[in-house]
Structure 1
Amino acid sequence: MTTVAGRAPTSLDHRRGRTTVTVVDNDGTLIPHTDVRIEQVSHEFGFGSIGFDLIDFANEQTPPRHDAAANSGVDASGGDGATLAKDWFSLFNMATLPFYWARFEPTQGHPDTKRLLAAARWFARHGVSVKGHPLLWHTLAPPWLLEMPESQAESAMRARIGRDVADFAGVIDHWDAINEPVILPSFTAEANAVTRLAQSEGWVETVRLAFESARAANPSARLVINDFDLSPEYERVISECLEAGIQIDAIGLQTHMHQGYRGEDEVWEILERFARFGLPLQMTETSLVSGNLMPAHIVDLNDFTPASWPSTAQGEARQADEIVRHYCTLVAHPAVESVTYWGLSDATAWLGAPSGLLRPDGSRKPAFDSLHGLIKGEWWHAPGVERTDEAGRLRVQGFAGTYRISHRGSKTDITVEAGRERHLRVVLGA
């Protein structure tokens, strides 16, 4: 892998692997000089999106009762949840579901567990890995929590985390344990009990509360620290947490590029800075707009509230180009294990931005086709037939993931691992 003039490397060899398969019949006899069908089934890399818009469809609710966290009551599927689901599954293999506490448990003791669990199981049945977001966050902390004395509120936080991680264990074993810890102690937009605790205990102990409460409830859970502040201050938070003995499984990075694409060089520099911790990186939230850009003078993206923010032909062409550049940069970096695009449709896009890959009526933007061309085209092993050699061997090579080998009605799945060459013996009897 080489880097030219400080730019991200273009080689993706570190994402590929090769498995040499020896094919035998039921009785162990080699199957030489025989045509065998090979098709890729899944990617190892996490190509994700939020699954908010499909929660009601997964629960077979008609008409949809879209989750409030999607920021809209509009049917993102253009009236057809099945079509939205088809488009979603054609791109993504990883779903993030909303656990914003104030909406998940607006009344203390009455969490929305049944509905979210049904949705999580639905995604899992479709071969999608599911992540919960977030377990602890100052924004959307329930008002009833602030009414408690600090010690009682802290106990409630621990209990909430432990309950939800335990309730979803085996279906959701991957969580953003804490969201946006950098701003947490100084957050002033709204009074909340999580900021109050952080001001008293400090950000390290607040992060510890989230991680250790989750780990106790599910020791096998993968727990992520997550932030939009990609400055050295976030590096400081991570350093202090690791030095304090907190086990962080991955580092989450957010970038909603409503004011324009950061560019390959800047994104690569960010990835390099956070890769120094030796932990996997997740681009947990990312988006690019297909309309006019948000003015550069806006500091808090939430402060931009235009009456309308339409997608434009020029913006859609720009978005299609930028999404390819962005994903190629992320996949090229060896520390990145997943990227989550923040919303498939403009109908429920965050802040009303035209950042989806579908228009409000459900039609596809050029960016959808461009991304599909990468994930299921350039980075995908097209189905085809290969012939075994005289020793019954064939080589399966491509992007790391699961591949299916078929012969005369018999089939088996194998794994291709990134950066490795493996040797397997598989039985494909009649």
Structure 2
Amino acid sequence: MYPINTISKGGLALVLAAAALGVPLAAAEPDDGELWAGAESRIQRHRMADAVVVVRDALGRPVEGAEVRIEQKTHAFLFGCNIFLWGRLPDAGMERAYRERFAALLNYATLPFYWGSYERRRGEPRHEETERVARWCQQQGIVTKGHPLAWNNADPPWLPDDLDEIRRLQMERIEDCVRRFTGLIDRWDVVNEVTHFDRPQFVTIRAPKHSAMWERVGQIEFARQCFRHARAAGPHATLIINDYRTDAACERVIEQLVDENGRRLYDVIGIQSHMHGGVWSNAKIWEVCQRFARFGVPLHFTETTILSGQQGRGRPRSTPWRSTPEGEARQAREVVRFYTMLFSHPAVEAITWWDLSDYRAWKGAPAGLVREDMSPKPAYQRLMDLVRGKWWTKLSLQTDQQGQGRLRGFLGDYAVTVTAPGKAPVAKDFSLARRQTNRWQIVLP
């Protein structure tokens, strides 16, 4: 129904990607209306699966008429946000509200690893502070990601002048972080914004030393080395290439991120979507997804911004950049549209919002799902209605003569409780996954 774009080379790769995703190739691009009209059916096809609950007694006989309560515990899809304010809010009330809002809605958190601020003094990385945040996330059932291991946005103050030594220190840092947090943080934005690494403000002002090293090693070769070192330190980690560019230049970078045998060095493609100036159309959302789905790996939308105030790429002159009632209504509508479109695309596996709160948000923009005082905006509630409502499975059923009950639910983890007359209730956890038999068996004593 919906085409994989053919603007990039690699026709066979496109066909294979389409087959893997269950998205047939077609001649014409769908328009905004078509894409929106088909979103619900795509969600049901790609985000849900069938399961059968089988209830037996201790002798293996089917139990007819057993009451089965099925409740989803978490999504397989990752709904996330950066968690940069954790432990850094000015009072206990704001801190408590921030954590409560985060955990109530989200199951994925991005933790900061910007080298310039993470290790202000040589040999004193902020590992202990980061571990506290990651442990809290783990207790809440929130998956964590580190961002980024390598990026030339700011030189650490102590960085030496020797470029070979900078490269060595960079690779050492990658291995240290990945090994240090194995089992606690196993997803990593390995290299950030490779496509345009040589932006003038980075090269001349913000990170002249790191940029000079990167240029000497080579744009692609440096990225390859970062991925090799990350993989050596974390053989089972999920490694992500993250970029704000969504054009052919970024495709060319990704095409080259392979080893000497042509195998991909990355596991996931990360796509930034800071939409300060206006939200992408459905057609652009789909085009970007199709452009990168051809690589045959999951897509993560890693940094998503939709404003609830005046739109624009920079702070309005002479006035505070505030959230407004009209802007909040627009943000809520666009959040529903943007998330629905992404959730309906089979290649997308994660969406990360950029800044939960307006308090100290990037660029000072009214970009949060909650306001500066941590009160929820309409967008927060609308997203809650989707993530924990419309896209959430909670139901009850009775087993038939074969002791079976059938359901269709959203992919993720479930708690199942079975009760029957004269029997003690039995509770068990299961996972609902795509392309699995999903046969959940419970034995009553």
| TM-score above 0.5, yes or no | yes
Structure 2 unaligned regions, length at least 5: 4-28, 420-424
Q: What is the CA distance between 1:418 and its match in structure 2?
A: 2.7
Q: CA deviation at 1:101?
A: 0.8
- Cα distance in 2 between the residues matched to 1:173 and 1:398: 27
What's the offset of the Cα at 1:82? 2.4
1:123 and 2:155 correspond: no
Q: Structure 1 residue 186: deviation in Å? A: 4.1
On the 8 A contact 1:16/1:419 being kept in 2, the answer is no
Which residue of 2 is the match for residue 264 of structure 1? 282
How far does residue 195 in structure 1 lie from its aligned partner after superposition? 1.5
Partner SS, residue 373 of structure 2: coil
Inter-partner Cα distance in structure 2 for 1:139 and 1:288? 23
- Counterpart pick for 1:181 among 163, 180, 194: 194
Alignment of 1:288-299 (within 5 A): 288-294=306-312
TM-score by length of 1: 0.89
Change (3 A) 1:32 1:275: same
Q: Displacement, 1:426?
A: 2.4
Change (3 A) 1:332 1:137: same
Determine whether 1:158 maps to 2:171.
yes
Q: Conserved in 2, the CA contact under 8 Å of 1:291 and 1:354?
A: yes
Q: Does 1:18 align with 2:50?
A: yes
Q: 1:360 to 1:241 in 2, by over 3 A?
A: same
* Cα distance change of structure 1 residues 327 and 360 upon mapping to structure 2, 3 Å threshold: same
Are positions 1:391 and 2:402 aligned together? Answer: yes
Cα drift, residue 121 of structure 1: 1.4
Aligned partner (choices 102, 105, 116) of residue 91 of structure 1: 105
Per-residue displacement from partner, 1:267-320 (whole Å, max 9, x unpaired)? 1111111111111110000010000111xxxxxx46877651011111011000
2:358 to 346, 349, 354: 346
Q: Distance in 2 between matches of 1:241 and 1:303?
A: 36
Whole-Å separation in 2 of the counterparts to 1:81 and 1:223? 31
Please tell me whether residue 284 in structure 1 is matched to residue 284 in structure 2: no
Q: Which residue of the other structure, out of 321, 328, 336, is the alignment partner of 1:309?
A: 321
Contact 1:14 1:419 in 2 (8 A): no
Cα 1:132/1:18, change in 2 over 3 Å:
same
Indicate how the Cα distance of structure 1 residues 316 and 303 shifts in structure 2: closer, same or farther if over 3 A, else same: closer
When the two chains are superposed, the root-mean-square deviation of aligned CA atoms in Å is: 2.0
Aligned ranges 1:66-215 → 2 under 5 Å: 66=89, 79-145=93-159, 147-189=160-202, 190=205, 191-215=207-231
The match for 2:415 is: 404
Evaluate the alpha carbon distance shift between residue 356 and residue 199 of structure 1 in structure 2; reply closer, same or farther with a 3 A threshold.
Answer: same
The DSSP-based 3-state class of the residue aligned with 2:128 is helix
Report the Cα distance in structure 1 between the residues aligned to 2:208 and 2:139, rounded to whole angstroms.
37
Deviation, 1:420, is 4.7
Identity rate, percent: 38
Distance in 1, Cα, partners of 2:180 & 2:378: 40
3-state secondary structure, aligned to 2:201: coil
Partner of 2:79: 47
Aligned-residue offset at 1:143: 2.8
Cα separation, 2, equivalents of 1:311 and 1:185: 34
Give the secondary structure class of the aligned counterpart of 2:393.
Answer: coil
AA at the equivalent of 1:16: M
Q: Which amino acid aligns with 2:381?
A: D
